[in-house]
């Protein structure tokens, strides 16, 4: 089931087509990676999904119904890239206030805050002020505030920036736990290794348009270059075969590119038949980082201003 469907969404600003006809579906319970270079239109897209901006045209369907910013706010939890909290307000009161703005009752909110503070070892924070917190601590608090009202869709914009590995793992585990319980998570980032680790499904946007959409495995398969790595006990001299080309040798590891019409078995057969002892053989899929760079490369690092006719 799709929790969120986006259909032909457009948002033009005075000097930019921030989001230019993007469609996508997000399945319930998935961890969805929204990727793209700076200024690609990710934030604008997210702001439309969270009801901060109205789209110029197109539809957003939440749980199959047209998205209504005012009433659907309680289903969505949004953690923006630039963290925002009242600096002078006590942490407990602040969490309570923001949860109640999402429509929670006071007692329910209080109960949930205590539960989360306990889980993330923040129990003695209640009466501290935000200005007393370190950046990482603020990050944890912001995460709790985002998930407190048990939203069915959580949007996290760069959630790990500023967190040490221990706390990053803590948050990562919480994200997995929430997804297991059926919460859908949209995860916006530039950090590809995190995406590979966490996300099931990814969408890449650039210059306001969607340029890639699929599961992490599908995408990798689509972009694979038929590269395989073989480790041999002894690397023979002058490897030559019609089935493949050697693209790199390092110690006892050989990287081969299989030619059109041949299969991995042909590679193995070649080495078995010439008497080499094979230690390991594996497919080498491109990393998301490589795919990202390949797709985005060549477009200017920052988007240029353009004239939008009214």
Partner 1 sequence: MNKIILIIQREFLTRVRKRTFIIGTILFPVLYIGLIFGTGYIANKTKQNLKIALIDHSGLFNTERVNSVNGNDTISTFKLIPVTQEQQIMAAYDSSGFDGYIVIPASFTWRTGTDSLRVNSKKSFGNSALDPVEKKINLVWNKVKHDSLGIDLSKEAILDKSVSLKLNNEKDKTADAGVATIIGYVCGFLMYFILLLYGSQVMMGVTEEKTSRIAEVVVSSVKPFQLMIGKIVGIGMVALTQFLIWIACIFIIYNVGKTSGNNSSSASFAMVGQIQHVFTSVNVPLVIGCFIFYLLAGFFFYSSLYAAIGSAINEDMREAQSLSFPITMLIIFSIALMTPAIANPSSSIAVWASIIPFSSPIVMMARIPFGVPNTVPLWQLGLSMGLLVGGFMCTTWFAARIYRTGILMYGKKPSWKEMIKWAFRK
Q: Given the rule CB under 8 A, which residues bind partner 1?
A: 47, 50-53, 69-70, 73, 76, 78-80, 82-89, 97-98, 100-103, 145
What minimum distance in Å lies between the beta carbon of 161 and partner 1? Answer: 14
Q: Which is nearer to partner 1, 75 or 292 (CB)?
A: 75
The answer to whether the CB of 113 falls within 8 A of the CB of 148 is yes
Q: Which is nearer to partner 1, 6 or 79 (CB)?
A: 79
The answer to whether the CB of 29 falls within 8 A of the CB of 199 is no
What minimum distance in Å lies between the beta carbon of 11 and partner 1? Answer: 13
Write out the two tokens for 4: 């969120």
Q: 203, 180, 84: which is closest to 141 by C-alpha?
A: 84
Distance, CA of 10 to CA of 26 (rounded, Å): 18
Q: Which is nearer to partner 1, 10 or 257 (CB)?
A: 10
Write out the two tokens for 58: 């197109």
Q: Which is nearer to partner 1, 278 or 308 (CB)?
A: 308
Strands (E), 104-176: 153-157
What minimum distance in Å lies between the beta carbon of 74 and partner 1? Answer: 8
Q: Which is nearer to partner 1, 21 or 81 (CB)?
A: 81
What minimum distance in Å lies between the beta carbon of 136 and partner 1? Answer: 17
Q: Which is nearer to partner 1, 53 or 244 (CB)?
A: 53
Burial (CB count within 10 angstroms: exposed 0-12, middle 13-18, buried 19+), residue 76: buried
Q: What region does 297 belong to: left with phi over 0, alpha with psi -120 to 50, or beta?
A: beta
What minimum distance in Å lies between the beta carbon of 101 and partner 1? Answer: 4
Q: Are strands 153-157 and 17-27 parallel, antiparallel or unpaired?
A: unpaired
Q: 76, 213, 221: which is closest to 147 by C-alpha?
A: 76
What minimum distance in Å lies between the beta carbon of 125 and partner 1? Answer: 18
Q: Reduced to 3 states, what is the DSSP secondary structure of residue 75?
A: helix
Q: Which is nearer to partner 1, 53 or 271 (CB)?
A: 53
Question: Which sign, positive or negative, has the C-alpha torsion 159, 164, 170, 176?
Answer: positive
What minimum distance in Å lies between the beta carbon of 291 and partner 1? Answer: 30
């Amino acid at each position: 089931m799709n929790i969120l469907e986006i259909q032909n969404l457009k948002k033009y600003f005075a000097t930019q087509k921030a989001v230019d006809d993007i469609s996508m579906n997000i399945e319930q319970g998935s961890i969805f990676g929204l990727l793209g270079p700076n200024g690609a239109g990710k934030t604008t897209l997210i702001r439309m999904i969270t009801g901060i901006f109205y789209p110029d045209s197109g539809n957003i369907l939440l749980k199959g119904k047209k998205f209504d910013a005012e009433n659907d706010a309680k289903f969505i939890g949004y953690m923006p890239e630039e963290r925002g909290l009242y600096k002078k307000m006590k942490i407990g009161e602040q969490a309570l206030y923001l949860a109640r703005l999402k429509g929670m009752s006071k007692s329910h909110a209080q109960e949930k805050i205590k539960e989360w503070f306990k889980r993330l070892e923040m129990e003695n924070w209640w009466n501290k002020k935000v200005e007393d917190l370190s950046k990482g601590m603020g990050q944890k608090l912001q995460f709790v505030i985002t998930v407190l009202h048990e939203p069915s869709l959580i949007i996290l914009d760069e959630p790990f920036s500023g967190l040490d590995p221990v706390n990053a793992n803590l948050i990562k585990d919480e994200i997995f736990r929430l997804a297991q319980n059926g919460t859908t998570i949209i995860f916006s980032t530039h950090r590809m290794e995190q995406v590979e680790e966490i996300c099931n499904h990814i969408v890449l946007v650039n210059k306001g348009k969607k340029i890639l959409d699929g599961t992490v495995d599908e995408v990798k398969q689509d972009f694979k270059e038929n590269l395989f790595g073989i480790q041999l006990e002894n690397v023979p001299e002058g490897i030559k075969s019609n089935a493949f080309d050697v693209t790199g040798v390092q110690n006892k590891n050989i990287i081969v590119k299989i030619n059109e019409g041949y299969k991995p078995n042909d590679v193995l057969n070649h080495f078995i038949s010439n008497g080499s002892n094979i230690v390991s053989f594996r497919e080498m899929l491109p990393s998301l980082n490589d795919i990202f760079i390949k797709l985005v490369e060549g477009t200017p690092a920052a988007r240029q201003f353009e004239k939008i006719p009214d």
